[in-house]
Structure 1
Amino acid sequence: MNTIIHRVGTIYLPVENPDLASNWYQEKLGAVENFRNEDKAILDFANQSFFLVKSKKGEKAAFQDEKGKEHFYLTFEVDGIEELKKLHSVLKEKVVTVGDIEDRGHPGNNFIFFDMDGNKFDVWSELSPSFKEILD
């Protein structure tokens, strides 16, 4: 399918303290900081630009599904189950709050993790086919 929109360029995340949050993302996830001021930090990782925007305490990127369960806004992809297990272990070693690796009934496995502000993320063991083509 041909489309005018080719990719998501920037993701905005609410954080209480851009300085501390930027350091957390750099240390825990290997992000690279491109800019920081008192209102935001701009990071690159996972082939995306992330803006960590200073927000009110308790704000986070999540929503409740129809059953009242908190849901994440985005899923990071890794290349295979071994990479998923490796990232899971690395995040646990870095004292990041992570969930168990689980089979959700679709190809691959997933786990969730939280940043220091309570933003909830998902990780999936399967690369999207279009991205895998780019890597090959």
Structure 2
Amino acid sequence: MTNARPDSVQRRVLAVIGVARIVWGVTTALGSAHVHRVGGIEYPGPDGGVWIKAFGIRDVILGAAALHSDETVRGATLKAGIAMDLFDAGVVIVAARHGMPRRAARIGVLMAGGTAVFAAAGPGLLRMVENHRSDRVHPPTATCL
């Protein structure tokens, strides 16, 4: 059995997601033109670039919430982040069908979908790895009756 509590495992996964969201959010909010160029999208678009900045700010807030000290806040953030990332991936797929550059669509689906999968599966996978390591360090002992 591992020494890591389930909350500890989830907290580590959320810390990775939280820091990544903050970095990505700051990048998209402050470096919107560069983010668009990497995706092959003209900047600013008809919206004047406000939407990419709004998504950046949203990710900074989600990232900060993922790092919150309260377990309830972190759990709610994990669920909300998964839902938003899946929705974002769906929106990107629809946008790709309406002319979004392929490169931008691939990046968007990979980032949003990848984050959702990592958030959903990460805690369980990390627990499995830790349990496997613990079993190797402390193999179960046979008992005779």
TM above 0.5, yes or no, is no
Please report the TM-score for the alignment, with normalisation by the length of structure 1.
0.28
Richer in helix (by share):
2
Greater share of residues in strand: 1
Report the TM-score, using the length of structure 2 for normalisation: 0.27
The structure number with the bigger radius of gyration is 2
The higher relative CO (CA closer than 8 Å, separation ≥ 6) is in: 2
